[in-house]
Chains A and B, each alone.
Chain A
Amino acid sequence: MLRADINELLTQTGPKTPMGELFRQYWMPACLAEELPEDGCPPIRLKLLSERLVAFRDSYGNYGLIDEFCAHRGASLWFGRNEEGGLRCPYHGWKYDTTGQCLDVPSEADNSSFAANVKLTSYPLVKIGDVLWTYMGDPATQPPLPEFEFALVPPEHTYTSKRWQQSNWLQAFEGGIDSSHVTFLHSGGLKTDPLFKGAKGNEYNLNDTKPFFEVADSDGGLFVGARRNAEDGKYYWRITPWVMPNFTMVPPRGDHPIHGHFWVPIDDENCWAYSFDNHPVRPLTREERQAMIDGHGVHSENIPGTYRPVANMDNDYLMDREAQKRGEYYSGIKGIAIQDSSLQESMGPIVDRTKERLVPADSGIIKARAKLRKAALALRDQGITPPGVDPAHHHVRSAAVVLPQREAFLDAARDDVKVKPGMPVASV
């Protein structure tokens, strides 16, 4: 179980909450680059860490993320006109640039300095890879830009999607470091999904349903190792890195692209699941890219024009009891991503962790919660910069390796969990 007060601490990320302040130490995905496809395109609304914001790309190509509401009388700037060098509120015509600075208040005299004194809250918005990243904390402590491998490889090597999940970020994230559910919930996908199937490791995965878990600290968070039996007195290790607070990677399978997630709080009852795939050595094949677009692997098929999955809470995720019986999909739900979201959303928007009953297979989750709590309190009480802020902490990879039984997983795989640009992933 988790104490009620700690459950609250870890799940609340609004302004001025301890976890909210923790999240505001990091660069984080704000939206996909495809959402602002060209200079002067329509603005988009987004909510992040319980703050309502508008993202836009001005006529010169600058990106901005500003308060959704006009400083005059609070109209939503989503209705704004994206004009030359700024977004104009259509109500009374106040105009703002990408830093939130008011440029024009038409009702005032031409020589008035009124506009110069009006500025909306704004956050930086920077394109790296397929993602527009923001930092919502104190400008004085803004860290260097993130250096996650999936965002730095050439564009042909990577694909990122996102989906809206109707649950708190923590229960979504906890699925990302919980390797023990894969053998059950995702067992169908290991055999059939075009982005997973065919790897030698899948056999170890399916043959040994009682993995042993070991957790090791990393500079930026944790490595969660799941150990299963392999042949000849060896172990098959699946190593999942977590970079604080909300970046996780899935251990690879064969030569398939390597994937992972960002779990970004929208508010306390919703989050964005960003899902990426990348191959450090070669471009994604046309088939791979198409499979990702179609919602295979870690991606989802979304309702066109939205980031809401086609299979969602309102249609019981298109539950197929026959497929469940046949074992085609273990839970009767199609697709890895929706298999996860269906169960995580089923727990309720914020799961009551005082009622849970943890077992040794949950050790990664226990450790991660402890680290989050300690980091949030150390930041609040002593101003200590948390792990994962330093871009050097981002240079991690997941790995799936067969190791001699007597070796400690992280000693033996230390090199395999580091990013080596252009070099293959350690994967069986």
Chain B
Amino acid sequence: MIYVGDAGQERIVDAAAGETVMSAAVKNGVPGIIGECGGNASCATCHVWVRDEFLHLVGTPGETEEDLLDMGVDDRRDGSRLGCQIALSDELDGLTVDVPPAQL
């Protein structure tokens, strides 16, 4: 899984199925992804922008996630998701997300 920072630098992280975009980042110290609420869709400190080519694979936000993206992040875009709500799977191999600069 690949996290892209504001200057385009890539962090490539090996993550097992069952991890989330948030937990894999936190374990590997990826800057800008904090996961303060432990993955409960409450804090929005795990906000990422999923690259277009993966959007159809990650699905759409649930209701709680939707509320938080709507109200709790400054720069919502089409690919905005809470990292803690995306469970990794073999299908998502190579998943690439941008870390919003405001979080860095």
Contact = CB atoms under 8 A, between A and B. Distances in A.
Interface of A: 1-3, 6, 357-360, 362-363, 366-367, 369-370, 373
Interface string B48-75: 0000000000000000100110111110
Query: Which of A2, A358, A373 is the most central at the interface, judged by chain B CB atoms within 10 Å of its CB?
Result: A358
A6 B71 contact: yes
Interface residues of B, number: 15
A293 B71 CA distance: 41
Contacts of A373: 70-71
Given A358-B43, A366-B42, A366-B71, 17 more contacts: A1-B72, A2-B72, A3-B71, A3-B74, A358-B72, A359-B43, A360-B37, A360-B40, A360-B42, A362-B42, A363-B42, A366-B68, A367-B64, A369-B71, A370-B67, A370-B70, A373-B71
B10 interface: no
Nearest to B67: A370
B11 to A, nearest CB: 25
Given A358-B42, A358-B43, A370 B37 contact: no
Contacts of A370: 67, 70-71
A358 B37 contact: yes
B44 interface: yes
A192 B67 CA distance: 40
A1 B64 CA distance: 14
A6 B74 CA distance: 11
A180 B19 CA distance: 29
B37 A366 contact: no
B44 A359 contact: no
B93 interface: no
17 contacts: A1-B44, A1-B72, A3-B72, A358-B42, A359-B36, A359-B42, A359-B43, A360-B38, A360-B42, A363-B40, A363-B42, A363-B64, A366-B42, A366-B71, A367-B67, A370-B67, A370-B71
A357 B40 CA distance: 13
Contacts of A366: 42, 64, 67-68, 71-72
A1 B37 CA distance: 12
B13 to A, nearest CB: 25
A2 B69 CA distance: 10
Contacts of A360: 37-38, 40, 42
Contacts of B72: 1-3, 358, 366
7 tightest Cβ-Cβ pairs between the two chains A and B: A370-B67, A360-B40, A358-B42, A360-B42, A6-B71, A359-B37, A358-B43
A233 B102 CA distance: 45
A27 to B, nearest CB: 28
Contacts of B42: 358-360, 362-363, 366
Contacts of A369: 67, 71
A385 to B, nearest CB: 21
A373 B68 CA distance: 12
